[in-house]
Amino acid sequence: MSNADALIVRAVEDKSELLQLMLVVWGSHKMMIDLHTYDVAEIDALGLFTPAGQTAALASWTRRDETAYLCALHSLRPGEGVAVRMLAAVKAAARAAGAKKLKAMLTNDNMPGLTFYQRQGFRLSGLYPEAIDHYRSVIPAIIKTGYRDIPVHDALELEIEL
């Protein structure tokens, strides 16, 4: 049994850890996906936890009509299969809620995320040049540089059928 198999999936009621993580990584706990803004504090969240209660991964998502939107997925234990397990839990919850597809939005700098989602079967479904620049006018705290100091300007949308 792998370390990820021993983890427990459960809904996250106290989102303070997720919100803090979003502020550190993104500069805000609001995300724009499919041209809608979602506040991670106000939507569903799932977590993977060790039997002792330590957080291994957190994700937030919501559903609108037949589409689920993955707003954030953070593995706190890279290289252990935790992100894959967290994504599987979100997909299962979205299916149970009636979603037919799951969308995720990444910034142009997020090469690790782009690789991860494509390896999980997601396909590119949209490119929004300068979307983050425009969104930053609403939420100025959003990061200006990201992975390997790449300037953050554009948004990439990916989706997978459920």
The whole-model pTM stands at 0.89
Q: What is the mean pLDDT of the chain?
A: 92
Structural domain contains residue 132? yes
Structural domain contains residue 118? yes
Stretch 127-141: mean pLDDT: 89
pLDDT given for residue 156 in this prediction: 95
Structural domain contains residue 1? no
Structural domain contains residue 75? yes
Structural domain contains residue 15? yes
Question: Left, alpha or beta for 115 (phi > 0: left; psi -120 to 50: alpha)?
Answer: alpha
Structural domain contains residue 2? no
Tens-place pLDDT, residues 53-72 = 999 999 999 999 999 999 99
Residue 97: CATH number of its domain: 3.40.630.30
Structurally, the chain folds into a number of domains equal to 1
Tens-place pLDDT, residues 59-117 = 999 999 999 999 999 999 988 999 999 999 999 999 999 999 999 999 999 999 999 99
User: Residue 44 belongs to what domain range?
Assistant: 8-161
Residues 143 and 155: their CA atoms lie apart, in Å, by 13
Stretch 3-9: mean pLDDT: 81
Structural domain contains residue 138? yes
Structural domain contains residue 51? yes
